[in-house]
Every structure is written in C-alpha cells, then in structure tokens.
Structure 1
Amino acid sequence: MTASTTAQDHWTRYYRWGPPALLATGTVMSAGSASLLMSPAERYVAAVLTVVAAGWELQRSLRRRSMQEQDTGHFVVRSGLAFALSWLNPFFAFYAAAGYLDAHVMLPERWIRLGVIVTAVTVAGSQAGGMPPQSRTMWIAFGLLIALNASISLVMMRLAERDEQQSLERLEVIGELERTNEQLERALAENQALHAQLLVHAREAGIDDERRRLAAEIHDTLAQGLVGIVTQLQAAQDAADRETARRHVETATALARRSLGDARRSVQDLVPEALEHDALDVVLAHTLAVWSRETGVRAEFTVTGTPVPLHDDVGATMLRIVQEALTNVGKHADARRVGVTLSYMDCEVSVDVRDDGNGFAPMEPARGFGLRGMRSRAARVDGTVTIESAPGEGTAVSVLIPLQSATPVSQDVS
C-alpha cells in the first residue's frame, strides 16, 4: 500500500466518524457547563437537537457509499443544527468546526467558500462568548472573529488545494514513471532476445567461417598433395626401370608426409610450417624452385622493395594463394615459363604470379574452388585478388594486402 493510499484512507475515516466524534465532544463539554450557561428550557431543547444531530450523523456514517461524494443537503442541515446548538451553548462549536475540514468534499466548488464562511460565523459566535453578542464591544469582537476565522480557513483551504494539486501531479509523475519502467522492462526483454539472436548468428557465422577456412586449407594442402601423390605413383608405374620408379615412390612418400603435417596444422589453424623458420620471400623462392623441378617449367622469382616482417595470417595467405596459382598453372596452363614477384611497398605487400600459358576468359563462371578460395583467403586479411587473362595470352594473378607490420629487416635473397 502506498503512502498516498494510506493518507486517503485516513481522511475517509475522518469524513465518516469525525463529525460524530466532534458532536460527542461538544455534548460532553456543554453538559458540564449546562447549569451555568443554560436555562432548563434551553437544556431540554439542546438535548433534543443533540439527539437529532447524532441521528443525522450516524445515518450518514453507516451508509456504504463513499464518504468523499458531494452531499450538500447533509452539510446544510448539519450547519443549521450546529448553529442552533452553539446558540444554546458555545461549547457546541466543536461540532460546527467539522465544516472547516469537509466543506471542500461535500459542497460544489462554487459553494465551498460560502460553507466555510457559515462555519466561521458559528465558531466566531462561540469564541465571542456566545450568541447573540451582549454588547457593542462583543459585536465588534464577533465581526473581527468572523473575519479572522474565515480568512484563516480560506487560506488553509487554499493551501490544502495546492497540496492536493501537487499530490495529484506527483501521482501523475509516478504513474508516468511506472509506465516508463514498464516500457524499459519490455525494451530490456526485447534487447535480451535480440542479444540471444545475435549470439546465435555469431556462432553460426563463426561456424561458417571455420568451414570456409577448412575447405580452403583442404583444397590448398590435402587436395594438392593428393594430386601430387597420384601423379608420382602413376609415374612410378610407368617407369622403365626400378631406380626411376623408386624416386617417384620416394617423392610420393614425402608428399604424403608433408600433406599429413599440413592437415594437422590446418585443423589447429597454425601458420604453415615453412613460415615458422623462414621469411615469406625465402619460402616462396623454395616453393617455386620445388614446383619448377617437379613440373619442368622454367620459373623466376623476384623481390622488390625492403622486406618487412609480416603478420602470420598475411604470410600464410600469400603462400597459399601462390601455391594455388602454381597448381593451376601446372594443371591447366601448359606454360613454358612462370614468373613470381614479391613486392614490399610503404603500406602494402603484393605478389604477382604470371605465366605464358593457354590463358582463359576471367569473366566466365569459375568451375572449381581455386579462384573463389583465393579471393576468400585474401578477404580475410582485407586483401584483394586481381586476375588478368585471355585465351592464348597467359594469366597474371595479383594479390594485394595491407601491411600489418612495418619494421624493416635485412635479408639476403638468393
């Protein structure tokens, strides 16, 4: 239960039982002074009026309707009874004073001030020594008391109205805050639901990204290694002598071991083993030399600019894309010469793979995973892949990636 509700209940109890209590107080006080202030006839009339007033108050107090409803008739009758009783004995003004506290509830708004003034007249008569005043001085005192009581009552009523208005405004603010809190609770619930959805989407995106990474690793390592193994075993079968067949089998075995190691490192998302020991330019030079020896295609490797240490992801991306490009040349280009250029620039590093082979139409939809995998790898490190080719004019694959580190290092490139 709120404080405002508790206060309202207190006032409701007063409106119901306050006037009867004040009537009882006035009756007790008047009975004690009746022998001094009242004649026998006045005591008889006062007793009758007291019974009538008590019945009048009790019938209203026992009704079940709200005590804060307008009841002009009851106020008028009570004011008349209180005036008559106070005329007989000033102590009955206690009963009349009830009008100060409930006139604003029982009377229409335009009559409230009149009701307060009527109450002030009755109370002032009691304060002046009883009605009617017995001398000119008492009449003057009576008039001043009416003005004083009425003024004080109207000021208090005005203050009460202002307090009531402020209470209503506070209740409105509280209601608005409650509505705002409800909206915030709904918003928080919605945000929690959205957060849960974002977590699900993030997990799904992470799963998809990991699938794409593994697919690229499988294509660039296992698939190429298996192709090389099959090629070497076929060559061993077709060899004219045992020594040549043995060399092909040894090469296939080495490829299988290397592919197994690459598979393990791919699952663990580790940098290629070669890059753990050497810089990118050294690894690319060795890779190109091995590829040239296996395919019989003449190859040249060039480094331009000042080599700088690269982030592991950048180096791995460059190496895998070059390996894929060389595999494509070996499988499809029928080239006689291949050139690989690694270029270190101020803010970027690039590698270009060029061949003089058959070429193709880059605008045609890619049939395999290779070209899509190159672009996907480069995009993971904010890089781009550009392919220039035409039928019969060879192919150029260019990879451009922003530098992740700019600390120059001195290396000898053989």
Structure 2
Amino acid sequence: MSESRYVMRFRRWSATLPPMLVDAALAALVLGVQLWPLLATHSLSGRPWHWWGYVAVIAASVPLVWRRRAPVTVLVCTLLATASYDVVDDVARQPIWYGSLAAFYTVAATRTRWVRWSMFAVTIAGGLIVVGSSETALRGIVLFVAAYAIGRAAASSRAQAAALEERAARLTREREIEAERAAERERARIARDMHDILAHAVSVMVVQAEAGPVAVTANPARAVAAFDAIATAGRDAMDQLRRLLNVLKEEEGPRGPQPTIGALPSLAEQVGTTGLHVTYSTTGEPRPLSPDTEVAAYRIVQEALTNIVKHADATRADVALTWQDHALMIDITDDGHGRDPALPSGGHGLIGIRERAAACGGSAVAGPREGAPGFLVRVRLPRAAS
C-alpha cells in the first residue's frame, strides 16, 4: 500500500473521531513537547526551573482544546502565554510557539478575511515587540506565515471538497429526477399501448360477437368466420399484451418484436373481418424510420381504425401511406358520420394519436373530410436521419 493510501486511510479514520477529542489530543501533545525541557533538565543552580515556566507552558497549550469553538480567543491566550514565558530568567531555553502556531492555523482556516488579516497583523507586530533578537523574529515570521498558508490551503481544500460533494449530490438528484421522468414516460407509453391493444381487440370481438348470432341461422359459414375472427383477435391481443408487460418484470424473459409498418396490411385484413371494407395503399419509395416511429405508425393506424369501428358507423376505410423525402404521411379516412354530435369531442383515442405523433417529433390533425362524408386523420412522422 502506497504512502498516499495510508494518508487517505488516516484521514478517513480521523474524520470519524469527535472534534473535541482530537483537539484534546493535540493540546496534550503540545503540552508534553513543551514541558519536556522543563522536566528533563535543571537550572544552572541545580534546582528545578522556576514555576512560572510551567504556568506559561500550560497556558500556551491547554486552550487548544477549544480552538474550533473560539479560535480567536484561543490564539490571543496562547500568544499572551508565549510572550510571558521569558518574564523570569530561570526557565528552560526553548520556544513555546507550538500552541500559537496551531491556534493561528485554525484562525487562518476558519475565520473571515478581515479577522484573519487583523490577527496576522497583531501576531507579527506583537512578536516583533517582545522578541529579543532579529534571528528569532525572522524565524517567528516565517513560521507564522507558513501556518497561515497551510490554514488557507486546508480551507480551500475543504471548500473544494464541499463543492464537489454538493455537485455530486445535485447530479444524483438530477439523475433521480430524470429516472422518475423516464419511468413516468414509460408508464404513459405502456398505458397507451395497452389502451390501443385492448380497444382494438375488444372492438373487433364485439362487432363479430354481435354479428355471430344473426349469421348462425342465415349464413353458418359466416358465423364460423366471425367466431374465428374473435379467437384470432383475442390471441393477437394476448400476445401483444404479454410482450408489452414483459418490460415490467424484474427478470425479463425473451421479447417478441413490437408491431411496425410491415404489419399494417395484416391489421387492415383483421379489421376487415368486422364487415368494414379496409383498403391499404402506399405511395413513394419507403424510407428508413426509427424503431419508435415504426411502432408509433402502427399504433396510430390501429387506434384510428378502432375509432372507426366503434364510432363512425362506416362501411369503408382507407389507409394511405405517402413516403416523402423527409417524412411519412399517413391518411386514414372513412365514409361514416363520425361521432355523435351530442357527445364531447376529442376522446382518448385522438389524444393518444396526437401524443404518439408528438413523441416522435411529428404532428397529427383530425376532423371531418372536406367535400365528402366521413372523417380524416392525417399524421406526419419524420423519417430517421441518414
């Protein structure tokens, strides 16, 4: 394990400790280092050092326990104790700057610019006044400038880490919001697909079921065909629902392909079993479409034909695809009377058609045909970029 790994592990471990405990350990360390010359040596007279030296060392070390709570007060206390150490001559010859340096580092790392520079000026000016030699004064200035620089570096590092953490948290929130929106869009898509599948299948089955009893006596072959159409519509709906609901399973099984434009002739043939005469035609050279647009085209035609079967009372419907250079135009027309004027317009079917077209970057309009009976649904879907 590299040295940087040890440092990172130590930082993570120390970050879990209570701040007061860390500061108490620092104060004890500084106290022990500065008391050692007083305990290990004796004065020239052979007697222990003057008691004032012990008091000054303790006063310059113990306040570090509160350095985070009151950094300016602790710095002032340690500076005064350090300056008073040489009031008497019978003390060990040593600098007792360690407590002041630690307190000054804390002020530089945590206080505002005005407070930092004020305390810097007070510290340097006071040191120049009480220090006896220029060498000691220069050494003190270098040490306190270094403590200030280290404190500012630590503050910048913490600010950068906090900014990175905030950015990471913001990105996480944005990803969660986007995931929720994606889930909502997926639920809406599944709901539209289920609506289209069930509405189409049930409409075909209802029409055939209503015609079946009449045809049983008058035309048995047609009755058999009606029941076959009911069974086919039911099986097709079950297959499509099974494929659709697979996306909701945690462990997804094999999925069949979603119906696309290639399945429109089969759709027209299936709807034709209801008694509605459906024609399907294409004009122009087929162009590539995105997979989502292919599925949307099928669902739009399916929904439009379902609306004709359910509401239009029509005998004929025409599905016309026109391939253009940059888009696919889909026209679904019928010769019925449309919806009952007493009923509100703009049902879920037409809303679903518009939403599907808009989701692919296209558009859809619907309304009565001009100069002819019936209804027109016109959809424009953009083709895939080549």
Aligned partner of 2:52 in structure 1 is: 60
Query: In terms of Rg, which structure is larger?
Result: 1
* Residues in 2 aligned to 1:357 and 1:101: alpha-carbon distance in whole angstroms: 104
Aligned partner of 1:223 in structure 2 is: 202
Give how far 1:398 is off: 0.8
* Residues in 1 aligned to 2:52 and 2:288: alpha-carbon distance in whole angstroms: 97
Mapping of residues 1-400 of structure 1, within 5 Å:
8-9=30-31, 12-13=34-35, 17=38, 21=41, 24=43, 27=44, 50=45, 54=47, 57-63=49-55, 65-67=58-60, 68=78, 69-70=80-81, 75=86, 77-78=88-89, 98=93, 101=95, 109=127, 111-113=129-131, 116=132, 153-178=133-158, 180-182=160-162, 184-185=164-165, 188=168, 192=172, 195-196=175-176, 199=179, 202-220=182-200, 222-237=201-216, 239-240=217-218, 244-269=219-244, 270-271=256-257, 280=262, 284=264, 287-288=267-268, 291=271, 294-295=274-275, 297=277, 300-308=279-287, 310-311=289-290, 313-335=292-314, 338-359=317-338, 365-366=344-345, 368-389=347-368, 393-400=373-380
SS in 2 for 1:318: helix
Q: Indicate conservation of the 8 Å contact 2:203/2:310, yes or no.
A: no
RMSD of the TM alignment (CA)?
Answer: 4.5
Return the TM-score normalized by structure 1: 0.58
Distance 1:402 1:266, change over 3 A: farther
* Residues in 1 aligned to 2:269 and 2:226: alpha-carbon distance in whole angstroms: 15
* Residues in 2 aligned to 1:296 and 1:71: alpha-carbon distance in whole angstroms: 103
Matched residues, number: 308
CA shift digits 1:23-53 (9 cap, x unpaired): 63xx3xxxxxxxxxxxxxxxxxxxxxx48xx
SS in 1 for 2:59: coil
Give how far 1:314 is off: 3.5
Q: Indicate conservation of the 8 Å contact 2:226/2:273, yes or no.
A: no
* Residues in 2 aligned to 1:7 and 1:357: alpha-carbon distance in whole angstroms: 96
* Residues in 2 aligned to 1:212 and 1:308: alpha-carbon distance in whole angstroms: 26
SS in 2 for 1:249: helix
Distance 1:231 1:373, change over 3 A: farther
* Residues in 2 aligned to 1:373 and 1:323: alpha-carbon distance in whole angstroms: 11
Return the TM-score normalized by structure 2: 0.61
AA aligned opposite 2:381:
I
Distance 1:171 1:60, change over 3 A: same
SS in 1 for 2:319: strand
Distance 1:255 1:184, change over 3 A: same
* Residues in 1 aligned to 2:385 and 2:165: alpha-carbon distance in whole angstroms: 47
Give unmatched runs, 5+ long, in structure 2: 1-21, 61-77, 101-124, 245-255
SS in 2 for 1:399: strand
Distance 1:209 1:337, change over 3 A: closer
Distance 1:260 1:291, change over 3 A: closer
Q: Indicate conservation of the 8 Å contact 2:203/2:309, yes or no.
A: no
Distance 1:330 1:304, change over 3 A: same
Q: Indicate conservation of the 8 Å contact 1:348/1:402, yes or no.
A: yes
Distance 1:346 1:200, change over 3 A: closer
* Residues in 1 aligned to 2:352 and 2:379: alpha-carbon distance in whole angstroms: 13
